[in-house]
Amino acid sequence: MIYDFEYDAQDQRKEAPVSQQIPQPGKIIAIHLSYASRADQRGRRPAAPSYFFKPTSSLGASGGTVERPAGTELLAFEGEIALVIGTPARRVSLADAWSHVGWVTASNDLGLYDLRANDKGSNVRSKGGDGYTPLGPEYLDARAVDPEALRVRAWVNGELRQDDTSAGMIFPLAQLVADLSQHFTLQPGDVILTGTPAGSSVIVPGDVVEIEVDAPDAGLSTGRLTTTVVQGEVPFDGDLGSLPAVDDLQRTEAWGSREEAGLPPVAEPGISAELRAKLELAPTAGLSSQLRKRGLHSCFIDGVTANLPGAKIVGTAKTLRFVPAREDLFTSHGGGYNAQKRCFDALRPGEVVVIEARGEAGTGTLGDILALRAKTLGAAGVVTDGGVRDFDAVAEIGLPVFSQGAHPSVLGRRHVPWDVDVTIACGGATVQPGDIIVGDGDGVIVIPADLAEEVADEALAQEDEDAWIAEQVAAGHPVDGLFPMNAEWRAKYDQHRVLSERSETKGAEVQS
């Protein structure tokens, strides 16, 4: 059943004849991320809701079709609870917000990931296509349901893909109404799309998507909102604007996971498990000594310390370059899906973000949201010769960060995010993408990848030698002739090594 209402002079809602239709929406507002299950899937949890608009021309009804445009592959469905405003809402309180909702219905917030990169955040083209916001089929009276006990489910070709409730939302439904009303008047008929839970994925021509919102406790349901995908025949014109483009990141987010997208697991770039184990044991002091023996004297990143006591990072460098702040350049490069965000979104397991901030400690170069993104994607850590915002929160996340310390200011105070995966300077050291980064209590060093294995082996051998020398000093021997070792002490140490190796071999034979 469709519930219909009229309004008196005081904007108080009352029942009206069934013949009166729900007001046409003047605007459609959608939230980017609102369910805990979806946030966990994406590896980022917002501190506050953020929104985008969809055109009213994207509206559709149950039983309709949606076109996947020619030359695209990543059309995705999103089952959502849609709120339709019943009475005008402007600066309403959280306690009063739900009373301004007239109806609840099902929605499918369709999106085309092929067009997402250039409009990311605004979603103008990726979410604004004709038929990309079907609603219905029936509308529930908001007064008859508990906003914290609504359920949304989605099926594709009869298979259940999404099943979650409003209790699993990060931001309650009423909060979205109250928050939006702070900024502009919500008018009768306006639609709020309240976000999708985990399970959203790619659909292809011929697929049939069904979305249902119900209130199990009240025994009410919208029925199933049905949409069929059809193949479009008209390609986009590259002379008029940017063309669709996809990469493995877009495929992963559209499908929900690399596995669902048919992509191979991400291998740790540039470093084997065996080499990683060696570098985790080798101190930066020893590694630095080995680099100096090979004529490399400028591989130390100066001026940075760890945010976590005892932190050790080992990984391959993913570089990010900031240039000095300039207002016109920040306008063109600082907003939207800028180089900083692209860098953190594209991280692979085992990588270390290394940031060129020119030694400028007077602002933050990352904060807790980007640190959480890096941690979720399996990054080994971050090294920046600038400052860190949300310093304590970043430490709580557990991501090792080497920096010049805390600073509360935002990036744009001193920097413009400029480029990713280029050769940079950090703390006086040149860093190239793929270089090996090792950091501990003594600081951070940069090791050319082709030298890492031999440098690690030699550093560990030196560690064994230094440990034996320390034992002799502890036993009362003077350091003269022992550190560094003369021929006599060298012979003793060589004999010690032979005996130790024999003992280890015998022990292995006994165990076998």
| pLDDT tens digits for range 154-202 | 999 999 999 999 999 999 999 999 999 999 999 999 999 999 999 999 9
Task: Give the angle subtended at the CA of 255 by the CAs of 250 and 256, to the nearest 5°.
Answer: 95
Per-residue pLDDT band at 17 (split at 50, 70, 90): very low
Q: Is the pLDDT of residue 505 over 80?
A: no
pLDDT at 96: 96
Q: Which amino acid is at 296?
A: L
The confidence score (pLDDT) of residue 446 equals: 95
Per-residue confidence (pLDDT) for residue 249, from 0 to 100: 78
Other Cβ atoms less than 10 A from the Cβ of 109: the count is 26
The CA distance from 140 to 83, in Å, is 10
Question: Binding site: which residues?
Answer: 367-370, 389-390
Provide the pLDDT confidence category of residue 15 given band limits of 50, 70 and 90: very low
Instruction: Extract the tokens encoding 498.
Output: 């032979």
Q: How far apart are CA 244 and CA 266, in angstroms?
A: 24
- Per-residue confidence band for 457, with pLDDT thresholds at 50, 70 and 90: very high
Q: Which pLDDT score, from 0 to 100, does residue 502 have?
A: 64
CB 358 within 8 A of CB 322: yes
pLDDT grade for 508, boundaries at 50, 70 and 90: low
Distance, in Å, from the CA atom of 291 to the CA atom of 459, rounded to the nearest integer, reads 10
pLDDT at 102: 95
pLDDT at 47: 83
Per the annotation, binding residues for Mg(2+) are 390
* Mean of the per-residue pLDDT values of the chain: 88
Annotate 41-59 with DSSP letters as a single string. HHT---SS--EEEE-GGGE
What's the distance, CA 192 to chain centroid? 24
Domain parsing of the chain, residue ranges: 25-234+242-255, 273-453, 478-511
pLDDT beyond 50 at 14: no
Whole-number percent of the chain with pLDDT over 90 = 64
Q: How confident is the model at residue 509 (pLDDT cuts 50, 70, 90)?
A: low
pLDDT digits (tens, 9 = 90+) for 245-275: 888 878 888 898 888 888 876 555 668 888 9
> Is pLDDT at 19 greater than 60 in this prediction?
no
Q: Contact at 8 Å (CB) between 128 and 111?
A: no
Whole-angstrom distance, CA of residue 119 vs CA of residue 340: 16
Superfamily of domain 273-453: Ribonuclease E inhibitor RraA/RraA-like (3.50.30.40)
**pLDDT of 7 higher than 80:** no
User: What confidence score (pLDDT) does residue 511 get?
Assistant: 54
The answer, yes or no, to whether the previous bond of 478 is cis (omega within 30 of 0) is: no
CATH number of the domain located at residue range(s) 25-234+242-255 in this protein: 3.90.850.10
Residue type, 424: I
**Rounded to 5 degrees, what are φ and ψ at 115?**
-110, 15
pLDDT, average across residues 483-512:
71
pTM score: 0.57
Whole-Å CA distances, 402 to 46, 57, 386: 24, 49, 9
Residues 6+ apart with CB under 8 A from 332: none
3-state class (DSSP) for residue 251: helix
DSSP annotation string for 49-106: --EEEE-GGGEEETTEEEEE-TT---EE--EEEEEEE-S-BSS--HHHHGGGEEEEEE
Give yes or no on whether 25-234+242-255 and 273-453 have one common fold: no
pLDDT at 267: 53
Residue from 435, 432, 412, 410 nearest 421 by CA: 432
**What pLDDT, on the 0 to 100 scale, is given for residue 461?**
86
CA distances to 34, 87, 206 from 100, in Å: 20, 5, 39
Nearest to 100 by CA among 45, 168, 174, 204: 174
Residues with Cβ within 8 Å of 15's Cβ and at least 6 positions away in sequence, in order, are 5
Query: Tell me, what DSSP letter sits at residue 257?
Result: S
Q: What pLDDT is attached to residue 4?
A: 40
User: 38-97 pLDDT, tens per residue?
Assistant: 888 776 778 889 999 999 999 999 999 999 999 999 999 999 999 999 999 999 999 999
Residue of higher predicted confidence among 497 and 1: 497
**Separation of alpha carbons 512 and 509, rounded Å:** 5
pLDDT of residue 503: 65
User: Residue 504: pLDDT band by 50, 70, 90 thresholds?
Assistant: low
Tens-digit pLDDT profile for residues 387-443: 999 999 999 999 999 999 999 999 889 999 999 998 999 999 999 999 999 999 999
Q: Is 262 left (phi over 0), alpha (psi -120 to 50) or beta?
A: left
pLDDT band at 1 (very low <50, low <70, confident <90, very high): very low
**Strand intervals (E) in 157-200:** 159-165, 191-193
CA dihedral 37, 38, 41, 47 (to 10 degrees): -100
Q: What is the pLDDT of residue 469?
A: 84
Residues of the binding site for substrate: 367-370, 389
Q: Supply the DSSP symbol for 376.
A: H
User: What's residue 465's pLDDT?
Assistant: 81
- Report pLDDT for 506: 58
